[in-house]
Amino acid sequence: MNRWLLPEDIADVLPAQARKVETLRRNILDLYQSYGYELVAPPILEFLDSLLTGTGSDLNLQTFKLVDQLSGRTLGLRADITPQVARIDAHLLNREGVTRLCYAGSVAHARTPVGSTAREELQLGAEIYGCVTWQADLEAITLLLKTLSLAGLDKVYLDLSHAGILNGILAKENLASIEMEALYGLLQSKDRPRLSVWAKSLPEQTAKALLALTELNGPCAEVLNKAKTALPQTPEVKEALAQLAHLIESASDLSKGLELSIDLADLRGYQYHSGVMFAAYIDKLPQPIARGGRYDQVGKAFGRARPATGFSLDLLTLASLSPHQKPKKAILAPWDNDAQLKQVIDSLRQAGEVVIQLNTGEPMQSAEYVCDRELVKQGGKWSVSQK
């Protein structure tokens, strides 16, 4: 077996792409800082029970597990940073007011996610804690759109949903977790025949509402109007529809390239989401480029329930879809012990120039840099000239 082979769906990031990823990371985190977000860096390994606290079974299946030789306890290699940041807010920072946190770090998946070709991602995200109103969800969506714009992706399709809709429909039902898993799968696939059979044991009004969810998708105004007649108008359903209406009205003019839609059966991540949920799509990718939403109950498992909303995305995928970066222009210089040459090179680098030193006749090989100038000695002095 070749020692340089990597595990399936694990890949190296080569120079030009790595620079692109790092440039994007810096620009995006600077954007978040301008909104008052503070950077955190949770550990890549945690005790498994802490890492999975407040999350659903999906995350458990995606988490690599190993035994800690020091404590004998089971550790998890994180597959999602969001629960870790919720732990930091609830348990370590322990603030009373609104807290804005952002992060960028590696995550690993035990199985390749559907629609993806990689089991390792560089997850980047932003979270707002302590604000219960829909304005926090709007800020998260605004920041997501600006993040995509920084990567040159301005045409965005944003699909909205709300976990409160399903909760309102099933408010009087007492379904076991395994039944909820089955319902989630049927709604996600919009399998009406099987859903109809599955819902036979439920009250007729509840069954009709579940079937209606599979058809409540499309243009926002149209879906909201249909939902008011097709769904039971419980307080939770009414509040969820009102929040969606507020968001749509406010978000419609955030970006010229933004198209809004609603899919009330799209409940991916419903296990820990508690309110508005959203997924961002672009033309170049069949699966969402980013996902987000409200998850007010996750912090409760760490001793303090906090209103929370935010989003995350894979920075490696984002960078691969961003318009190609042109190689950076550089200055070629000889490897020489000339003191004056060293001084000139130091001055150029301090001024922001890239100076690459090579031996005479040695070829320049780089995917990141093109040497369009060179340092030459003329009249006893080193100066920059065009190649």
Segment 144-178, tens digit of pLDDT: 999 999 999 999 999 999 989 998 998 888 888 78
* Collapsed DSSP state (helix, strand, coil) of residue 372: strand
Mean pLDDT for the stretch of residues 242-270: 88
- Dump the DSSP string for 265-282: T--TTTTT--SEEEEEE-
Segment 126-153, tens digit of pLDDT: 999 999 888 999 999 999 999 999 999 9
Residue ranges for the known binding site for L-histidine are: 80-82, 123, 127, 268
Beta-sheet strand order (sheet of 120-129):
38-39, 99-108, 120-129, 308-314, 290-294, 276-281, 156-162, 258-263, 217-219
Residue ranges for the known binding site are: 80-82, 123, 127, 268
Give the residue with greater pLDDT, 50 vs 350.
Answer: 350
- 99: tokens are 């807290």
- 360: tokens are 């005479």
Segment 265-309, tens digit of pLDDT: 887 765 677 889 999 999 989 899 999 999 887 767 777 778 999
